[in-house]
Every structure is written in structure tokens, then in C-alpha cells.
Amino acid sequence: MPWAAGSATGIGSHPGTAMADALGVAFELPLPYLPELPARGPGADMLGRTMGLLVDMPVELYAARWQLTGRPGKDARRTADLWARDLDALTVAADGYAGPLKLQAAGPWTLAASLQLPVGGAVLRDRGAVRDLVDSLTEGLRQHVAAVSARVPGADVLLQLDEPSLPAVLAGHIGTESGLGVFAAVPRPDATEALARLMAGVGVPVVVHCCAPDVPVGLIRAAGAVGVALDLSLLGDIDPMGEALDDGFGLLAGVAPALGRASAKVAADRIEDLWNKLGLRPADLPGQVVVTPVCGLAGSKPEVADATLRACAEAGRRLLER
């Protein structure tokens, strides 16, 4: 696994607008990461940040939606400025660091369901546009990983692709712009191929995060991911997850509440209960599982978010010691 046994990490988003503060907490964890601060406005959230990584595919905000455009404008400049400042803050926070470092970006299918074509309608409706988007995102992420690696030479980068829309894309539940219809379901082989092409192109291990029910664990595994991140409370049929874990697949287990008080003991017990229910070897648990909140922490108060992450770290230690 591209993380140490007994690890914990965050999903991505933090409250507030101070990147230095968020990085300070993130680097207390066994698996540190570069946080997202959506409170800073457009271009700072999961979608906006990822749009800023696209290569030769400029976007702009139009009627509160991200839309492809002919040339970069003020929205692109704002996002690029946020990225530059975040990477500068990361360089300071990670000075002398050596070890795993997680980066997050929206995955291709969530982007395709969210990004609008210049003529209107989601990219998802146009297969050619989807291919172009996957290629652009792959190159953008490859460059992003290279930039982070240059600034933090001791980092072993792990990429998290956020795909909350993936189950809806596969089921044909993404609504059209009018709200009167839905886009056709994307065949699973097509969805797998696009993810596999991206994962092969970025050149680092990838985990896929999906905070929706019906996470397609088998598809994510077939695409080449080293693990999946999900909310354990939304895991329905546990058999596909058990098969994957038995084969050495990684699990970023969302067990700590994003809002409210988190308990390290409760978090560790929930993971251990699932492991035992699946009949897996107890000795494998600390190495394969990373403890996380159930989702991003942007909706929490800063002190609550910090306490949640520290509870995750304590839960990871408990699993390692059992």
C-alpha cells in the first residue's frame, strides 16, 4: 500500500480560508494531504480547482455553472492564482518532509456530468467531448503531480479522484439542463476504460473516492485503482468490498462524522467489526485500511474539523495496536 500501517487522512475540504492552518493539521496525520478551502469562493472548491488543472480546455463561470469557453478569462486567472498560493504554502509546510502525500481532484465522470458545453448541456452528452476531457485532465494531473513532486522532493504522491457522480452516471440518473430528462447511462466498459486511461497516464497510485451509495467497487478496482474511499455507513452489499479486500485492495474507510464529535474508539470498532464480518485476516487490517472522516469537513467549525482528524489518527493507532 502507498501508505504506512495504521494511517489516517482527510477526504479533502476544510473550513476557513487559511491554507497554512489547514496544512498544519493535515501534516499531523500519517497520510498528509493538500486540503481544499471552498470558503474562498469559485475556483477553490473541488470542481473549480480541478477545472483549473485542465490543459488546453479553458473554462469560465456562466450562470453559476462551469462552462467550456474559447479562451481563458478572469475565472481561470483567479483559479491559477489560488493554485499558486496553495503550492507555495505546501512548499513551506512540507519543508524536509519525506513520505506519502495525498492530492485530490475531481474524477473525469464527475467533471463530465458537471461541466457544460459552450452550446449548453453537460459534456457527458458528447462522447468526443468526454474523450477530450479525459485527455486534458490526465495531462493536467500529470503536470500537477510533477509540480508537487518538484516542490516536495521527498513525497510519494498518492492521487485521490473524487467521483461522487459516478454511480448516477452509470445508472443514467444525471439530469439534463432543462430538468425534463436524463442523459443515457454510460456503459460500464466505457467508464472503466476512461478511468483506466487516466490512471495509467498520471503515473502515481490512485484511489477513487465516492460518497454516494452503490459505489462500483469492482469497476474502480478493474480500472487500476489501488483503493477506494467511501462512507462505511453507505456500504450496502459488502461482498464486493470483501472480495477486493481479500485480494489486497486498499480501503479509505469513512467512519468519523464530518459534523459533530468524533470518537476514535467508535471509529476503530466500526472498521474492525466490518473486517471481522468479512472474515478477513486481522493482521492485514492496519496495512490495508486508512481511517478518514465520512466526507469533507468544509461544513464544520475549524476546531471541530481539527478534532475529527485527530480522532481519525488515534483510531488508526488503535487499529495498529490491536
Bridge partners of 155? 99
Which residue, among 150, 142, 250, 244, has the nearest Cα to 197 in the 3D structure?
A: 142
Question: How confident is the prediction along the chain (322 residues), in pLDDT tens digits per residue?
Answer: 999 999 999 999 999 999 999 999 999 999 999 999 999 998 999 999 999 999 999 999 888 889 999 888 899 999 999 999 999 999 999 999 999 999 999 999 999 999 999 987 899 999 999 999 999 999 999 999 999 999 999 999 999 999 999 999 999 999 887 777 899 999 999 999 999 999 999 999 999 999 888 899 999 999 999 999 999 999 888 999 999 999 999 999 999 999 888 999 999 999 999 999 999 999 999 999 999 999 999 999 999 999 999 999 999 999 999 7
The model's pTM is 0.95
Which residue, among 207, 222, 166, 200, has the nearest Cα to 292 in the 3D structure?
A: 207
The angle subtended at Cα 317 by Cα 89 and Cα 301, nearest 5°, is 50
Torsion of CA 187, 190, 191, 193, to 10 degrees: 150
Determine the pLDDT at residue 181.
87
Q: Which residues contact 32 (CB under 8 A, 6 or more apart)?
A: 9, 26, 94, 97, 99, 100, 101, 102
